[in-house]
Structure 1
Amino acid sequence: MNNQSELIKDDIHAYLKAQEEKSMLRFITCGSVDDGKSTLIGRLLWDSKLIFEDQLAALEADSKRVGTQGERIDYALLLDGLQAEREQGITIDVAYRFFSTDKRKFIVADTPGHEQYTRNMVTGAS
């Protein structure tokens, strides 16, 4: 169990106070199709150790079934939730994800890169 989990278990009020005191950073990913926007955010979530065991199991299974990385984990699948996104290998809708570190909270918007979905990218930025 990590330190954050222990703090939640021992003193939920201290945990909530610590969360309130963290600064918030909001950002989006922008770029062309296949620039790695979803993969970057998926990797950030992976590295921050905020993926639950059931999500990891589903990610591993989906990576083998529809992933684009061969035998490796396809981190983009953590964000591309629509069936059409997984089948086409592109982001269509904006996906918002929350994660935090010891010092800061983050909200990231994963936006599509295909010009057909530029309106969705603009919506994600607003």
Structure 2
Amino acid sequence: MVNCPRCGTAVDVPVKTWAIPSRKPLKEGEEPRLAGIFECPKCGVRFRAAVMARGKTEEEGNIRSMVERIKGIKGELMQTLVSLREKINTLETERASLMVEIEKLRRVAEARVATLENEVSTLRNDAKSLRDLLGYREEEK
């Protein structure tokens, strides 16, 4: 990680890297020195600086970018989860209110059926009494 010379912002990944030739032969396990060109994401200035071994820097950059992507995906999933929970709650509330409304309508319909059945039986009794008064005989079936 290198800081921008103009604004001091930390810059993680170089734009380009190259090996700095060494006058001495490298010892066993020693990594070659690298230099790189960095670009500040804040002010856009390009500058040179020494960097760690190439493999580590690239791996670090890849890992950090993957971590950022994972965090972004996790945030999106959390937002989706919250919105789905809200939708589920809304649907459950709506379902409950519809069930109550259906029950009310069923009661009203049953009351109407009972009223109509009473009216029909009353009308049949009235029709029968009128036939008896007028002297009509019911035709046998």
Q: TM-score, normalised by structure 2?
A: 0.16
Higher relative contact order (CA 8 A, sep 6+): 1
Q: Which has the higher helix share?
A: 2
Structure of greater Rg: 2
